[in-house]
């Protein structure tokens, strides 16, 4: 019992919250790009938040559900249809066996997450099911999904679902995302930027390049200059580190970033803005907003409080619904 990939998408993979504690060995944490969307996807079907999910880009995979299952789609809106019927994101869905899921067109966002009740049977490596394509580990044989992959469900029960059904509640995620406004804190080499470049960084908008991927988002826009050019020693970097490249353009390191880097670290994206950044598509504009560490912590704590409230509400609705069935 599981799902069958009829047609692969572009770089679709199995991800969870990542593998931590191995960066000193050169192994990046990886994991989902948008932790909010992935968390809500799992919450909507009653899973633990770190259960593996499918992370898909557009054009996304065509999927056949070999058996009945409760699922949820979150994150980007790719106008999903099951058996020709429109299905909604951010809402639990009961899917009958032999149903086909397609994504018809890109509406907004860049990554959609698919969760299934109790999760998938996947390959764990170093405590995580996340796919590391670079290291060929985790997920589905350490690679992106391909045609005819069969992903088994942990839940092997026959759920006896006869009709495609949206459960009667939706999660609202609007408060977790800003309109491509990305909060960041100064990095270790921020002070080495010329004053005019410091100003330019927050007053100009930057385009996410088509040469962007899960390792990093390359940005195109006003050149930024250092007041004193000097070589930097390689040092630790993380998800959200903003580096200044030799061509005077920026790159923001993403989930599959390398563990160290030698380019100047001029900033770091606040954790609360990483989901917004993750959902920006190539060709879209972003704008940076400078915040202090204290402000970033307050933003993160507020976001986590809102997420916990949403999780509590979803768990309550699930329990009530199946108690009354």
Domain layout of the chain by residue ranges: 2-171, 181-291
**Of 41, 45, 47, 50, the residue nearest 16 (C-alpha):** 50
Q: The domain 181-291 belongs to what CATH superfamily?
A: Cyclophilin-like (2.40.100.10)
pTM of the model: 0.95
Yes or no: say if 127 and 114 are a contact pair by the CB < 8 Å rule. no
* Gap between the Cα atoms of 159 and 282, Å rounded: 40
* Gap between the Cα atoms of 233 and 235, Å rounded: 6
Token pair 């930027």 is found at 193
**Of 228, 280, 235, 231, the residue nearest 254 (C-alpha):** 280
Per-residue pLDDT of the chain (325 residues; tens, 9 = 90+): 899 999 999 999 999 999 999 998 889 999 999 999 999 999 999 999 999 999 999 999 999 999 999 999 999 999 999 999 999 999 999 999 999 999 999 999 999 999 999 999 998 999 999 999 999 999 999 999 999 999 999 987 777 888 999 999 999 999 999 999 999 999 999 999 999 999 999 999 999 999 999 999 999 999 999 998 766 778 889 999 999 999 999 999 999 999 998 899 999 999 999 999 999 999 999 999 999 999 999 999 999 999 999 999 999 999 888 877 6
């Amino acid at each position: 019992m599981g799902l069958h990939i009829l047609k692969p998408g572009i770089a679709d993979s199995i991800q969870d919250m990542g593998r931590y504690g191995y960066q000193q060995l050169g192994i990046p944490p990886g994991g989902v790009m948008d932790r909010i969307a992935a968390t809500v996807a799992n919450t909507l079907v009653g899973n633990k938040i770190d259960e593996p999910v499918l992370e898909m880009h557009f054009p996304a995979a065509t999927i056949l559900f070999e058996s009945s299952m409760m699922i949820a789609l979150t994150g980007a809106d790719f106008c999903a249809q099951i058996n020709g019927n429109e299905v909604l994101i951010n809402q639990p869905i009961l899917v009958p066996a032999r149903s086909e899921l397609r994504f018809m067109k890109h509406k907004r966002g860049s990554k959609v997450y698919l969760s299934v009740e109790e999760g998938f049977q996947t390959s764990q490596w170093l405590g995580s099911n996340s796919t590391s394509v670079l290291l060929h580990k985790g997920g589905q044989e350490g690679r992106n999904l391909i045609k005819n992959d069969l992903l088994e469900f942990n839940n092997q029960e026959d759920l006896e679902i006869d009709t495609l059904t949206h459960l009667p509640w939706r999660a609202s995620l609007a408060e977790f995302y800003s309109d491509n406004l990305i909060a960041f804190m100064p990095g270790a080499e921020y002070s080495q930027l010329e004053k005019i470049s410091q100003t330019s960084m927050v007053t100009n908008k930057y385009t996410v390049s088509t040469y962007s991927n899960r390792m990093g988002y390359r940005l195109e826009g006003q050149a930024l200059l250092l007041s004193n050019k000097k070589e930097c020693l390689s040092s630790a970097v993380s998800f959200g580190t903003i580096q200044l490249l030799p061509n005077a353009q920026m790159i923001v390191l993403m989930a599959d970033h390398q563990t160290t880097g030698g380019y100047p670290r001029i900033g770091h994206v606040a954790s609360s803005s990483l989901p917004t950044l993750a959902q920006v598509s190539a060709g879209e504009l972003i704008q940076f907003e400078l915040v202090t560490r204290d402000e970033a912590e307050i933003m993160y704590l507020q976001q986590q409080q809102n997420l916990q409230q949403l999780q509590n509400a979803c768990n309550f609705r699930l329990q009530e619904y199946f108690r009354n069935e």
